[in-house]
Amino acid sequence: MVVGDFPIELDTLVVGAGPGGYVAAIRAAQEGQKVAIVDKGTLGGVCLNVGCIPSKALIQAGHRYEHAHGEDDMGIKTEGVSIDFSKVQEWKGKVVQKLTGGVQGLLKGNKVEILSGEAYFVDKHTVRIMDEKNSQTYTFNNCIIATGSRPIELPNFKFTDRVISSTGALNLKEIPKKMVVIGGGYIGTELGTAYANFGTEVTILEGQDDILMGFEKQMRQLVKKNLKKKNVEMVTKAMAQGVQETENGVTVTYEAKGETHTVEADYVLVTVGRKPNTEEIGLEQVGIELDERGLIKIDKQCRTNMDNIYAIGDIVAGPPLAHKASYEGKIAAEAISGHASEIDYLGIPAVVFSEPELATVGYTEAEAKEAGYDVKAAKFPFAANGRALSLNNSEGFMKLVTRKEDGLIIGGQVAGPNASDIIAEIGLAVESGMTAEDLALTIHAHPTLGEMTMEAAEVALGKPIHSM
C-alpha cells in the first residue's frame, strides 16, 4: 500500500511512551504487528519519571524517616536520627533508572522500534517526527495516541523555582521548612504527607468542601486525622488568589470564609489537576474530534472518529491513572488485531498513598444505590485483624458492596495498611462476577492483612467470626 509518495512502513505507530503507550506497543507487537513507538522524552513517561514511581519512592523514604524516630508503644526508642536528602534523591533516581531501563529492554525484546522526537500528524496515515536536528516522515496503517498530560498551571501561580508542580516537588534539593500545597486531591495529599513526614510544616488549601472528595467521608476522615497528627493545616473552601516571591520563599494569599489570609513558605506546590497533551501534534490536520476539555473522543475500543487512529490514557475521558492507560493500551492494540476487546471501567481501582492508604474499586454504597441496585454494605475493621495489630497499624476498615438478591460483589473500599495491595482481590471479584460466598470460602493465610477480604465477605453473609 502507498499513501501519497510514501509506502506504508508500519502496521502500528504508538505516539507516547508512558505506561499506556509502551504497554500498547508491546501488546501490538505480541499480536504480530510491525510496531514503532515515538516519544520526545524519556521512556516510561510521566509515571515512571516524574509521577507514580518517584512519588512512591519519596513517600516510602518519608515513612522510613518517620518510623526511624521510634515506636514508644512498642518500646522502641531512638536518638540522633538524621537525613541526607541528597541521598534520598539519589536513591529515588536509581529506582526510576531501573524501571525506565527495563521498559527499553522490554520494547527491544518485543522488536518494537524506538524513535525519539516530537510527532506531528500530516494526515491519517502519516506523521512527521522531528528532533533538534532532523525531520523524518513515517507512514502507518494504524496509530495509537498516548501523549499523556501535564500539570495545570494557574494564571496567578506561574511555575518558577519557588512555585512548583508535582515534578518540581519530586526534585527538590532540600527539605522545605514550610510548604503550601494548593489542591487537596490525591497528588497534593500524597506529596504533602511525604514532606510532613520529613518534618516540613505543610498547609493544604482546598477549594472544595473537603480534601480527597473522590472517596467516602469516613475514609477521608481517617486521612485528615493523621494529617493533623503531623501538624498539617488543612483549609477547605479556600481559593488561592496569588503569590509573591522573594529570594528565599513565597507569600501566598488566599480567601476563606469571606476573609483574605496570607501564609509564608519556602515553596508553594500547585496540584489542581492535569491537562491533556492534545495540542500542537496536528490533530486538526486529521480531523480528530475533541470534547470541550480537549480530550479525544473514543468508542469502546479506544477508536477515535478516524477508524485507524486510537487514543488512550490521560488524553481520553476518565481519571488520569497509569493503570487505566495501560489497560486501554491493551484494548486498542487488540482491537487493531481484530479482537472483540472493549473497555469496561468498573473493575479499575483508584488508590491514594496517604496515611492510611485509601483504595476503592467498582461501586461505593452510595453509587450503587444511585444506579438502582438494592445493596448491602459489609464492613470489617482492621482493629479486629491480628496482622494489623501486630504491625501496630490497625486504623481503618474494609467495606464490601454486594447485591442483596444474590450476594454479587459490585464494589469495595479499603482504608488501612496496604490498601493499595488488598484492593486487587476485590477488583478480581468484581471483574469475575464473584459473590460474597466465593470470597468467604477462599482460604486465606493467617495472620495476614489479606484475611480482611474473607472476614468482610462473612459479614456480608451474616456469619462473621471475628466481629459482632
Please indicate if the annotation marks 149 as binding a ligand: yes
The neighbour count for residue 382, using CB atoms within 10 Å, is 24
What counts of helices (H) and strands (E) characterise the chain?
A: 14, 26
Please report the DSSP string for 55-67 in residue order. HHHHHHHHHHHHH
Q: Is 189 exposed, middle or buried (0-12, 13-18, 19+ CB in 10 A)?
A: buried
Q: Which of 125, 261, 446, 466 is catalytic?
A: 446
* Strand ranges, E, within 331-450: 350-352, 358-362, 375-381, 397-403, 409-415
Tell me whether residue 183 is annotated as binding. Answer: yes
247-254 long-range contacts, Cβ below 8 Å, gap at least 24? Answer: 249/162, 249/178, 250/162, 250/163, 250/180, 252/180, 252/182, 252/205, 254/205
CB-based burial label for 27 (10 Å; 0-12, 13-18, 19+): buried
80 is in an annotated binding site: no
E strands, 124-225, in order: 126-130, 135-145, 149-151, 163-164, 178-182, 201-206
| Cβ(400)–Cβ(449) below 8 Å | no
| C-alpha grid cell, residue 372 | 438502582
Contact 314, 325 (CB under 8 A): yes
Three-state SS at 53: helix
Distance CA 32, CA 318 (A): 29
Q: Is 190 annotated as a binding residue?
A: yes
Ligand-binding annotation for 4, yes or no, is no
Query: In DSSP terms, which residues pair with 253 in a beta bridge?
Result: 242, 262
Of 184, 177, 182, residue with least CA distance to 198: 177
364 is in an annotated binding site: no
Tell me the three cell numbers of residue 100. Answer: 525506565
Round to whole Å and give the CA distance between 220 and 18: 30
Is 273 annotated as contributing to ligand binding? yes
- 187 known member of a binding site: yes
Write the single-letter amino acid at 339. H
69 is catalytic: no
Q: Is 329 annotated as a binding residue?
A: no
Please report, to the nearest 10 degrees, the dihedral formed by the alpha carbons of residues 434, 436, 439, 445 taken in order: 160
Residue 87 marked ligand-binding: no
Residue count (the chain): 468
Question: Is residue 117 a known part of a binding site?
Answer: no
Between CA 271 and CA 280, with CA 276 as vertex, the angle to 5 degrees is 130
- Angstrom distance (rounded) from CA 397 to CA 380: 6
186 marked ligand binding residue: yes
If you search the block for the grid coordinates 533538534, which residue do you land on? 132
Concatenated DSSP letters of 11-51: EEEEE--STTHHHHHHHHHHTT--EEEEESS-TTHHHHHHS
**445 three-class SS:** coil
Annotated binding residue at 20? Answer: no
Binding residues, by number, are 56, 147-149, 183-190, 206, 273, 314
Residues forming the active site: 446
Binding residues for FAD, by number, are 56, 147-149, 314
Binding residues for NAD(+), by number, are 183-190, 206, 273
